[in-house]
Structure 1
């Protein structure tokens, strides 16, 4: 049995990009909090850690655990939690830069509100953020300072006991694991998205083609993530809209070539309806920045990428 000897354990799954990991660690070191009460556990798939990261172990309480390539990000997070000795667990992605008050602000929320079991800080744009990053940040911040149904896994804070009761992250999922994990927490109490602190997502999508490639990867566990859990009504559109738009466009094209004009019109209308509804909603969330053209471009690339990722996820692996 692990003895609780720290107030907070940061658990960071990692693979590849060590410059961003270095910045993430630097933001932890700059917290307005007693770092003697903190430990940092990096669970990496790299064969070795960069010298710059290793050197930080002399200035911050850093522990590195090496994980096998075949393991999922959920495995990495659970491995870190198993080794953690903190009263609270903070799960971070290895490409976030925390505001200096991240620990103090979020711990205050958990300590003062017993009904809140999981808390996350709001996302903030990086300096001179391109339109796609602005859009992504606005989507992340659609609901602030309120109870939410889901929290992304980039920055999460919860009590150790809450994590134990949740049974940890679902290790069978390659992606979408944060949907399942945070819904388990929601069965124990409230999820809260707070503007009392913030973070910058260093690895946020900044180029549309790279975004599309990532969405193919992100979509591969869409169907698998549905198994064994109750799906909130608000989550269903995210599963339905991408294939309706994508197949609506494909069917419209095929029917046009075959001369089935009525079916072509019906199909393209269904696709355009989905595009319009989502674009109007996002336009309202972003308050006009970025512009409508950027929003349309985003969904025209996002919907097919998500659809293809979902299909890849259910195809037999080679």
Structure 2
């Protein structure tokens, strides 16, 4: 939190034009004390409290207290480049039909874990390069026109996860969303172990099906639900049939076909995401496999 707010106060942007709002969602550490000290030091800032509710509702709570024509959402574990806001506002106001701008996440360092390095290869923020129109933007850093945001009613507060995908789908129907790597945002909250990754992706998949239903059959949203769901069923079937083969009750050819699907699908998806380096293929494929399993299991579990 301290690094995040400090980076905001160090932005290359007129301080009298920035309204800093922090929404505390029932923190139990010393975050509120840190925020208060920083606000006192810099002579500005408002801290609000919104206990309970979804992430979407917490963000909307801050929005309803904001007064500017431009909104900038930033997660508390993110650190922005000094030119983040200036570059974002310039891109946002370049054309009237642009509603939202988001920037790339910083590349991992050599000290980061293999999970962090592999995830960077396939995460949404690394799939694009340059400055281009996209269908949705990750909500850990977002700069938006408040009028467009208000027109669609803000984030859907009923969604526990996937609120950024849903927001992007609705904004895309009336405007353009722009991704850019002119600036980078360091995300301090990246998961570092495989166990943390699986737990987080299972949680993230909670509202995948709800987001799909709201997308009116969008191909991209359909595939984001269909592929993990099929994968988890095929993976489960493969494990069961591999057990059955011990008793010579199943065709070895069928087993090879299923294993090829289980191993090949995450590899193909990793390559589709732009992974070409031989050294990166194996860890990225492994991580993608657990991504599909966690997301697929979450979709099946929460669709009941």
**Fold agreement, TM-score > 0.5:** yes
> 2:12 maps to which residue?
32
Q: Which is further off, 269-278 or 31-40?
A: 269-278
Shift of 1:263: 4.5
Query: Where in structure 2 are the equivalents of 1:88-167 lying within 5 Å?
Result: 88-127=70-109, 128-139=111-122, 140-144=125-129, 145-167=131-153
Superposition misfits of 4+ residues, deviation over 4 angstroms: none
| Alignment deviations for residues 131-163 of structure 1 (CA, whole Å, 9 cap, x no partner) | 332333333221231111111111111111111
Structure-2 separation of matches of 1:126 and 1:256: 38
Q: Which runs of 5+ in 1 are unaligned?
A: 1-20
1:183 aligns with 2:169: yes
Structure-2 separation of matches of 1:26 and 1:105: 18
> 1:13 maps to which residue?
none
Determine helix, strand or coil for the equivalent of 1:178: helix
Structure-1 separation of matches of 2:297 and 2:218: 23
1:106/1:196 contact within 8 Å kept: no
State TM-score, norm by structure 1: 0.85
1:122/1:198 contact within 8 Å kept: yes
Q: Which is further off, 123-132 or 189-198?
A: 123-132
Structure-2 separation of matches of 1:36 and 1:260: 72
| CA 103–288 in structure 1, closer or farther in 2 if over 3 Å, else same | same
1:246/1:271 contact within 8 Å kept: no
CA RMSD after TM alignment: 2.0
Determine helix, strand or coil for the equivalent of 1:86: coil
| CA 114–245 in structure 1, closer or farther in 2 if over 3 Å, else same | same
Determine helix, strand or coil for the equivalent of 2:51: coil
State TM-score, norm by structure 2: 0.89
Shift of 1:290: 5.9
1:260 aligns with 2:250: yes
2:81/2:183 contact within 8 Å kept: yes
Higher strand fraction (1 or 2): 1
Q: Which runs of 5+ in 2 are unaligned?
A: none
1:87 aligns with 2:72: no
